[in-house]
A = this chain, B = another copy of it.
Amino acid sequence: MRTTRKPNVIVAAFALPMAFAAVAQAADPLPSWNDTAPKRAIMAFVEKVTRPGSPDFVPVPERIATFDNDGTLWCEQPVPVQLYLTLDRVKALAPQHPEWNTKEPFASLLKGDLKAALAGGERALLEIVMATHAGMTTVEFEQIVRTWLATAKHPKAGRLFTEMVYQPMLELLAYLRANGFKNFIVSGGGIEFMRPWTEQVYGIPPEQVVGSSIKTKFEMRDGRPVIVRLPELNFIDDKADKPVGIHQHIGRRPIAAFGNSVGDQQMLEYTQGGGGARFMLLVLHDDAGREFPYGPARGLPDVKLGAFTPALDEHAKKDGWTVVSMKNDWKQVFPGQSTVTAIDILLKLTTPVCSRPTRKGSPWTRRIVRTSR
């Protein structure tokens, strides 16, 4: 029998972000945020919904906050993390599927060309992800994710993916939690891809993760009761279905919601549509020096997934949503960048994984790629 947990291996990999968040919380609750409008707006909101006697006071059980994951809590460029796992799964399963060598998007995946594999759009992609993640029990899949995350590294930064989380958002999660909020992830990513690690990395337990899913089935396998993952789509937790996923899992309307793309628009609309004080925030990826710049709002490069469009930018302005400029509003992007620059840290990396240069990379990514070759 496989065991469900290997705590020693996995905890070590996850210790860094949580430790940083804990230290940060002691003094200023949001030390990685510059003292600009977004930080002030967040703290003013939390103050008014938590102060007894405030006209905007919200009882603890109703302090629900929802967070998108890819591009909001962790880095989703050059492609979302789950795609790297998918690539590795396709490689592992390829010997049983010789037809994949010529069949798209598998052929592109096997060549390592993730961007070409993305050409089929988000829905097709999710179906592929689901198909390559099915057939095993949920316990076996959880172990696949844990084992993979313990060693797989970001192709450009050379760090574990679980270290490519945004330090300011870790602080925000801890700050909200300390103020009686219950934080949920509401992501287009696979619910079972996230659950094995969100508790250690974000302090968000599995039951507070909402995501896309495939169907599953209860059965007795070798005399033991298991849940088997079926190659059939169950729910895509994106765009107008994010409020549906929220309602299905949580059953309350959030009072605060955080996202970064058109996939989050309806979640923010739904949040704002409730009575009383509400807080909506979008992360704008405009930091070419420390992360990946993409929009295409405000003249930033276009991307296929996770787009912050000019229309979304307009919508945010019209409805009073807070937009965080990573460049201007965040002192620090990733954990461990506080006293030295990102480039200083990254220059010290000895075993970067990436072997392919990006043509349109930011100065930061270009430099990492050069360094790593």
Residues of A within 8 A of B (CB): 3-4, 61, 64, 138, 182, 184, 191-192, 195, 199, 205-209, 213, 216-219, 224-227, 234, 240-244, 247-252, 266, 269-270, 272-275
Contact = CB atoms under 8 A, between A and B. Distances in A.
Nearest to A273: B225
Interface of A is mostly: mixed
A320 to B, nearest CB: 15
A231 B57 CA distance: 36
A65 to B, nearest CB: 12
A218 B244 contact: yes
A244 B266 contact: no
A188 to B, nearest CB: 15
Nearest to A227: B247
Given A269-B225, A270-B218, A206 B252 contact: yes
Of all A-B residue pairs in the complex, the 8 with the closest CB atoms, nearest first, are A206-B251, A225-B273, A218-B243, A218-B240, A195-B251, A225-B269, A207-B250, A225-B270
Contact of A244 (B227, B247, B249): B227
Nearest to A241: B218
Contacts of A191: 248, 251
Contacts of A275: 3-4
A216 B199 contact: no
Contacts of A219: 240
Nearest to A247: B227
A63 to B, nearest CB: 11
Given A225-B243, A227-B247, 6 more contacts: A191-B248, A206-B252, A216-B248, A227-B270, A234-B248, A249-B249
